[in-house]
Amino acid sequence: MEILGTVIGITIKSLIFIVGMFLAAAYLTLVERKFAGHVQQRPGPLHVGYHGLLQPIADALKVLTKEDLVPDNADKFLFYLASLLAFVPSIMILAVVPFGEPFEIFGFTIYPYISDVNVGLLLALAFGSISLYGVIFAGWASNSKYPMIGGLRKAAVLIGYEVALGFAIAGPIMQAGTFSLKGIVEAQQGLWFIIPNILAFVVIIFAVLAETGRTPFDVQEAEAELVGGYVTEYSAMKFGLFPLAEWYIATFVLSAITVILFFGGWNPLPLLGWLPIPGMVWFFLKLFAVFMFFLWVHWTLPRYRVDQITELAWKVMLPLALANIFIVAIWIMIFG
């Protein structure tokens, strides 16, 4: 009986998370478009609803009702699978990301996370790596030259940055002594991990930009070179899933992990702990700040060439991540 309750509880919670994520992602598109608009001295979406507030709904309706074209020569099974493989793992990371401390409403204790696995961070990394297959499959299954090149580019970039990312998160883990994301946040009640881990933070910023395909690392869909990169042959919702997964859900979730690893998760800002603001609000404020930082970079910089990106990954980011481990080790030796 108890198991059944747990299952139902988790299912409902997952549903809430997934639907919430969908809505959030939809509105993150609006945030990005508004932000980009104002960066570029234009108003952004303006006409659907008040100041374009209903624009995401209109977009979703449009993308859902478009004709779903599949090229004749495509590998149909992989072609369908690819869009799902890009999308589902990004959502699955949500399973291990905690958004706050447990709190009580009407006598019920609500846990604002689906599960607190003790290898949460590893799972998140693993899910992130699976989405790589989506990209490669998309490039391969389209049976066309531009998607192929785009897919291979993305694979080269991702492999380079996965390694650096893996080493970069070692620092916070060493300090917290746990892989559990909740545990990592709880370990940061005093000093945030950004202090000794500043190098790792830099590496993670670059890695997130690369993984989510934002400029200066958006080589896989560099429209001036490759038309649309690996999504060139996709249409309708299958097409919509790629940017949704990459640009919004992945950026959102990876921003959340960045906040958890370096900025103390739902711990309040230093010296502001006396404010009556719940932990979850702190968490989302920080998350939003990090997310906007990524947008800011995206809409400002030109893009690197693919060989320059991989060069940066292996020659700069990897050594930086390793140096970070060294620094943190010394830090732990001195301060315990």
Partner 1 sequence: MQFSQENSLWINQEKISKIKEKYPSVSIEKYDNATFLHIDKSSLIDFLTFLKENLGFKMFIDFTCVDYPFHNPRFQGVYFLYSPEDRQRVGVKTWATDNTLPSITSLWKGAKWAEREAWDMFGVKFEGHENLVRMFLWESYPYHPLRKDFPLEGIQDTYLPSKNLRPEENPAHNYTPYHTYVPTLEDLEETQKARMPNKSSQIVLNWGPLHPGTHGTIWFLFDMEGEYVKECDIILGQLHRGVEKIAESRTYTQFIPYTDRMDYISALCSQVAYVNAVEKLLNVEPPEKAKWIRTMLCELQRINSHLLWLGTYALDLGALTIFLYCFREREKIMDIIEGISGIRLNSSYIRIGGVAKDLPEGALDVIKHFVKDFPKKLQEYETILTTNRVWLKRNINVGTISEEDVYQYGLTGVVARSAGVPYDIRMIQPTDAYDKVDFDVPLGKVGDCYDRYLLRVEEMKQSIKIVAQCAEKLEKMKEDKYIATENPYVLPTLDEVFNSIEAMVKDFNLRIYGEQAPEGEIYLSGENPRGELGFYIISKGEGHPYRLRIRSGAFYNLQIFPELIKGRTVADAVALLGSLDPVVGETDR
Residues that bind partner 1 (CB under 8 A): 36, 39-42, 145, 149, 153, 215-216, 218-219, 222-227, 299-308
Q: Which is nearer to partner 1, 68 or 307 (CB)?
A: 307
Q: Which is nearer to partner 1, 36 or 194 (CB)?
A: 36
Let me know if 312 is exposed, middle or buried by CB neighbors in 10 A (0-12, 13-18, 19+).
buried
Q: How far is the CB of 33 from partner 1 (least distance, A)?
A: 12
Using an 8 Å Cβ cutoff, are 185 and 177 in contact?
no
Q: How far is the CB of 75 from partner 1 (least distance, A)?
A: 18
> Which residues pair with residue 104 across a beta bridge?
109
Q: How far is the CB of 126 from partner 1 (least distance, A)?
A: 29
Scan for tokens 């961070």, then name that residue: 121
Q: Which is nearer to partner 1, 284 or 314 (CB)?
A: 314
For the chain, the 3-state helix, strand and coil shares in percent, each to the nearest 5, are 70, 0, 30
Q: How far is the CB of 143 from partner 1 (least distance, A)?
A: 12
Scan for tokens 């090149």, then name that residue: 149
Q: Which is nearer to partner 1, 285 or 320 (CB)?
A: 320
Q: How far is the CB of 293 from partner 1 (least distance, A)?
A: 16
Please tell me what DSSP assigns to residue 279.
H
Q: Which is nearer to partner 1, 101 or 218 (CB)?
A: 218
Q: Which is nearer to partner 1, 153 or 286 (CB)?
A: 153
Strands (E), the chain: 103-105, 108-110
Q: Which residues contact 79 (CB under 8 A, 6 or more apart)?
A: 70, 71, 137, 138, 141, 142, 233, 238
Q: How far is the CB of 71 from partner 1 (least distance, A)?
A: 16
Q: How far is the CB of 196 from partner 1 (least distance, A)?
A: 26
How far apart are the C-alpha atoms of 252 and 97, rounded to whole Å? Answer: 11
Let me know if 13 is exposed, middle or buried by CB neighbors in 10 A (0-12, 13-18, 19+).
middle
Q: Which is nearer to partner 1, 76 or 145 (CB)?
A: 145
Let me know if 229 is exposed, middle or buried by CB neighbors in 10 A (0-12, 13-18, 19+).
buried
> Which residues pair with residue 108 across a beta bridge?
105
Question: Residue 124: in which H helix or E strand, if any?
Answer: helix 120-141
Amino acid residing at 12: I
Q: How far is the CB of 147 from partner 1 (least distance, A)?
A: 12
Q: Which is nearer to partner 1, 54 or 301 (CB)?
A: 301
- Can you say whether the dihedral through the CA atoms of 177, 95, 246, 87 is positive or negative? positive
